[in-house]
Amino acid sequence: MRLTCPLCGERDRREFYYYGAEDYLHRPSEGAPLAEWDSYLHLRDNPAGVTKDLWYHEAGCSQWLLVTRNTVTHEISSVEMVAGRKA
Amino acid sequence: MPELIAKSALEGRSLTLGGVTLAEVDVGPITSIALLPGGAKAVAKGLKPLGLSMPEPNSFAEKKGARIVWTGRDQAFLTGADCPDMEGAAVTDQSDGWAVLALSGAAAVDVLARWVPVDVRLAAFPVGRALRTQLNHMNVILLRSGDYAFEIMVFRSMARTAWHELEAATHMVAARAGVKI
C-alpha cells in the first residue's frame, strides 16, 4: 500500500501511522449532549466501500492526513492535509 | 566561562569500501526555522542577507557555504551559517541534535536502496532534492548533494546505529559486486 502525501509525494505505508476514523476531526462542541460524545468517542461505522480515516506521516513531514479509501477495492481516492483544511 | 570543545557524534570517522565512501561530516551550525502563521514575509526578509529563501517541499538550496533544507510544512533547517535575527518564525539551534553522514560513490545508491523506502535513483531523486524519510527505522533527512553523493542527517542519538546499518549495507553491496556470476 502506498499513500501520496500532499507534501512528500508517493510513499510506502511503513512511513505512516494509522490513527482511526475521520470522526476524530469532528469533536462535539462544549455542552453537547452525552449521546454526541458517546458517538464521537465510541461509535464507528465499518463500511464495505468508501471510508475516510486519519493517518500520520511520522517518518516524513509529520503531517496529519485525511485519507479517502475503498475497503473493498483498496483504491485510495484522495489524501489531504488536515492542517489548513476548511472544517 | 570555560572554553568547551564541541565533539561530533562519530568523531569524524570514515570508511571506503567497494568504491563507496561513508564519512561523518561537519556542516556547521544547524538552525531550525519554523514559520509562524503569517510570518513568511518577515522570514524572507531575514534570509535575504544569506541569499536564500524558504525552500519548496522536498528541496534544498545553497549559497556561499550556507544551505537551507526543507524539513516539513513551513519548516526548514539552515546549515553552515549562523541564522540571522528574524521575526515571523520560531528559530531554534539544533546543532547538537544531529549527526550528518556523507555517502558517495557509484554504488552509494545501491547502499541506500537497502534501507530507504523511496526511489533514490538519480532520475527519481535528482541533485537538489531533500526528503524526509526513513533509514531502516530511523527518521532521516536525505539530501541529494551530487550525482553520486548523498548526505544523511540523522538524530545524534541514533548516529552509531545509522553508521552500523550503512556500514553493513556497504559491505553487502561490495561483497555482491565481488561475486562473479
Q: pLDDT (tens digit, 9 = 90+) per residue, A4-33?
A: 999 999 999 999 999 999 999 999 999 999
- In this predicted model, what pLDDT tens digit does every residue of A35-60 receive, in sequence order? 999 999 999 999 999 999 999 999 99
A24 phi, psi to nearest 5 deg: -65, -15
Do both B87 and B23 map to the same domain? no
Instruction: Express as a percent the part of chain B with pLDDT over 70.
Output: 99
A1–B contact, CB cutoff 8 A: no
**Cell numbers for A23:** 470522526
Nearest CA in chain B to A81: B73
Handedness of CA A59, A61, A65, A69 (dihedral sign): negative
From B78, B93, B108, give the residue that closes a domain. B93
Domain that holds residue B101: 14-27+96-178
- Which candidate, B101, B102, B97, B103, places its Cα nearest to that of B156? B97
pLDDT of residue B5: 87
pLDDT of residue B136: 94
Within 13 Å of residue B49, how many CA atoms lie on the same side as its CB?
8
Q: Do B117 and A14 touch (CB under 8 A)?
A: yes
Q: Do A7 and B58 touch (CB under 8 A)?
A: yes
> Residue B8 domain-assigned?
no
* pLDDT greater than 80 at residue A87: no
Do both B105 and B174 map to the same domain? yes
Chain A residues in contact with B155 (beta carbon < 8 A): none
Query: pLDDT digit of tens for each residue in chain B (181 aa)?
Result: 788 888 999 999 999 998 999 999 999 999 999 999 999 999 999 999 999 999 999 999 999 999 999 999 999 999 999 999 999 999 999 999 999 999 999 999 999 999 999 999 999 999 999 999 999 999 999 999 999 999 999 999 999 999 999 999 999 999 998 876 6
> Residue B6 domain-assigned?
no
pLDDT of residue B155: 97
Q: Do A15 and B133 touch (CB under 8 A)?
A: yes
- State how many domains chain B has: 2
Residue B73 sits in a domain whose CATH number is 3.30.70
pLDDT of residue B32: 98
Nearest CA in chain B to A16: B133
Which domains does chain A show, CATH number per domain?
Answer: 2-81 (3.30.2270.10)
Of residues A12, A14, A60, nearest to B132 (C-beta):
A60
Separation in Å, CA of B138 to nearest CA in chain A:
8
- In this predicted model, what pLDDT tens digit does every residue of B127-146 receive, in sequence order? 999 999 999 999 999 999 99
Chain B residues in contact with A59 (beta carbon < 8 A): 132-134, 139
What's the gap between Cα B33 and its chain centre?
16
Do both B84 and B138 map to the same domain? no
Can you say whether residue B121 is alpha, beta or left, with left for phi > 0 and alpha for psi between -120 and 50 degrees?
A: beta
Chain B residues in contact with A60 (beta carbon < 8 A): 131-133
Do both B20 and B105 map to the same domain? yes
Q: Do A11 and B139 touch (CB under 8 A)?
A: no
Do both B18 and B88 map to the same domain? no
Do both B169 and B102 map to the same domain? yes
A81–B contact, CB cutoff 8 A: yes
A83–B contact, CB cutoff 8 A: yes
pLDDT of residue A84: 83
Do both B123 and B79 map to the same domain? no
Q: Do A61 and B139 touch (CB under 8 A)?
A: no
From B93, B122, B143, give the residue that closes a domain. B93
- Which candidate, B116, B130, B147, places its Cα nearest to that of A11? B116
